[in-house]
A and B are shown apart, each in its own frame.
Chain A
Amino acid sequence: MKRFWKWLLGGFGALLVAAFIFLSWMAGSPKDAYGMVRYAFPHMHRGNLRVGDDAPDARILQLDGETRFHIRERTGARPLVLVFGSYT
C-alpha cells in the first residue's frame, strides 16, 4: 500500500513538472510560464456572451477622465465594432 502511494505521488509530481516544462516552452521561458499561471489564468475567462445576445452596457470614460458615456449610447444607428485591449 505504501508503495502505491509512493508511485502515485511520484507520478503526480512528474506530471506537474511535465506541465510546467510544456507551459515554459509555450510561453517562452519558465519565468513566463510562472507569469501565465500567476497573472493571466485568473483573469482569462471565455465569458457567457454569444452571437445573438443583447450587448451588455457599461459606463466608459473619455480620455479626459471626466466625460462619461455608455457603450449602448453608441449602438443602434450602425454596426459598432468594439475593440478591447491595453497598451502592454
Chain B
Amino acid sequence: MGDIVKIYEDYKDRADFLTVYVREAHPTDEWQMKSNVKEDVCYAQPHTLGQRLAIANDFVKRFKYTVPFGVDDMSNAANDAYAAWPERIYIVDETGRIAYRGGMGPFGYHPEEARAWLASRFGPVTHSEAPTVPAKTGI
C-alpha cells in the first residue's frame, strides 16, 4: 500500500489513479493470516454491499489513504473482468487499452513495475528523504 501511495504522489499530475476495493483476501471466516490478527485487521467476508463499504471506509480512514478510491459491487464485476483478486495492478493507456498488466498478488504484485512504466513514459521521480515503512496488510 505504501508503495502505491508514493507512486500516486509522484505521478498524480501526469496520470490518473483508481483503487478498486474487491472481495476480502483473508477474512476471519476464510483464510485468516496471523499478520492480520497482529495488526487488528479482522473482518468476515462481506455478504452485503453495506458490509463491504464499511470495511473499505475503515481502510481509507485508518491509513488516511489518498489515492482515488472505488468499491466493486457485490456482483464482483470489476474483479471478474480484471481477474483482480487478491490484488493486481493494471495501467490503461489513453486509447483505453491495457498498457501494463501486473501479476496476481501476492507473489506477482509488483508496484515497482507500474512505477517503471510511468518512469519510462514521464521520467523517473527521485526522493532524497529516508523511506517510510509501509503497512504489511491491505492494498
Contact = CB atoms under 8 A, between A and B. Distances in A.
Interface string B76-112: 0111011111111111111011111100110000000
B114 A65 contact: no
Interface residues of A, number: 47
A72 to B, nearest CB: 7
A50 interface: yes
Chain A interface mostly helix, strand, loop or mixed? Answer: loop
A59 B73 contact: yes
B9 interface: no
A71 B41 contact: no
B19 A83 contact: yes
Given A63-B57, A83-B17, A86-B22, A40 B86 contact: yes
Contact of A74 (B18, B41, B84, B93): B18
A56 B82 contact: yes
B101 A51 contact: yes
B31 A85 contact: no
Interface in A58-88: 58-63, 65, 69, 71-72, 74-88
A84 B82 contact: yes
Which size class do B's interface residues fall under? 35 or more
B138 A71 contact: no
A6 interface: no
B15 A82 contact: no
B124 interface: no
23 contacts: A38-B30, A49-B98, A54-B96, A55-B90, A56-B81, A59-B78, A60-B71, A61-B72, A65-B53, A65-B71, A71-B78, A81-B7, A81-B118, A83-B18, A83-B19, A83-B20, A84-B82, A85-B22, A85-B25, A85-B88, A85-B105, A86-B24, A87-B137
Nearest to A67: B70
B49 interface: yes
